[in-house]
Amino acid sequence: MLGADLVAKAAPDGQTLLVFHSGLVYEPALYKQLPYDVEKDFTPVTLLGSVPSIFMVNRGLAAGSVADVVALAKARPGELNCGSAGVGSSAHLAVELFQSMAGVKVTHVPFRGGGPAVMAVVSGHVQFMIETAGSVLPQVLSGSARALAVTGERRMAALADVPTMQEAGLKGYVYTTWYGLWAPARTPDTIVSRLNAATAKVLAAAGTTAAFEKAGIEAESASAERFGVMVHSELARWTAFIRGVNITPQ
């Protein structure tokens, strides 16, 4: 928030920019007072990429699929524990979406950061979590935990045998953490266009694609206009959802 506020108040000359993940569109519903307005104080420049999450379970959990987890959760409401990096985090929203769409009730266990939450799944203190691929892929590949599904539209190259949530039976469940580039409001269109074109060129470079893939991120650019429409849509979507499930940050 401190970084975003700095950009919001910076001169609109293209010299001070903001790289932020999709959490930017969650904030208005999570916090009563923000020092900036997501749509009024920033100019969308381009989408940078997105990363799916992995539905990861402890190795000892008697579930070989997402459907098995749903069955367990329905048979034992509230008994399964799901970890996250904290209230209002990406992993928290992912599990709230899972509960809503699967019609189940699990117990959310917030930790002080993603690392402790991941270790809690590995150790068995919580049974599962839905966390970004970059954070949990090492545990899955090493066999410390099991991946039952990925949350993107497509399967991950690194986990080609792991189905998407939709393939696993939860139709309509798509959840990715996306990253974008913004400039301060009132940045001239000529500057935004130059930034957009330069960023698209870098994102298309083989070196960038390889580095992003290693981190579990799919590089993706977009016109400033399309990215602006996406931000507006995502803001409306998540504001309605967060308020609907009544999430309040601690």
Closest CA to 158 of 85, 220, 210: 210
Query: What is the arithmetic mean of pLDDT over 186-190?
Result: 98
Query: What is the arithmetic mean of pLDDT over 222-245?
Result: 95
Average per-residue pLDDT in the chain?
A: 94
As given in the structure block, the two tokens for residue 129 are 């979590």
pLDDT computed for residue 150 by the predictor = 96
Query: What is the arithmetic mean of pLDDT over 84-109?
Result: 94
How does DSSP assign 185-225, residue by residue? Answer: TT--HHHHHHHHHHHHHHHHSHHHHHHHHHTT-EE----HH
Q: Which domains does the chain have, with CATH numbers?
A: 9-50+176-243 (3.40.190.150), 51-159 (3.40.190.10)
Query: pLDDT tens, 31-57?
Result: 888 999 999 999 999 999 999 999 999
Which residue intervals of 45-132 are DSSP H helices?
Answer: 66-75, 90-102, 114-123
* Comparison of pLDDT for 249 and 192, the residue scoring more: 192
Query: pLDDT tens, 102-145?
Result: 999 999 999 989 999 999 999 999 999 999 998 899 999 999 99
Query: How many Cα neighbours within 13 Å face the side chain of 194?
Result: 8
pLDDT computed for residue 136 by the predictor = 92
Q: Say whether pLDDT at 250 is over 90.
A: no
Closest CA to 151 of 137, 163, 139: 163
Closest CA to 249 of 88, 19, 49, 140: 88
pLDDT computed for residue 104 by the predictor = 97
Range in 29-38, 61-70, 188-197 the model is least confident about: 29-38
- Taking the model in full, what pTM does it have? 0.87
Spatial separation of the C-alpha atoms in residues 108 and 83, rounded to whole Å = 6
If DSSP codes are grouped into helix, strand and coil, which group holds residue 61? coil
Rg, Å, the chain Cα set = 19
Query: What is the arithmetic mean of pLDDT over 146-164?
Result: 93
pLDDT computed for residue 238 by the predictor = 93
Q: Say whether pLDDT at 216 is over 90.
A: no
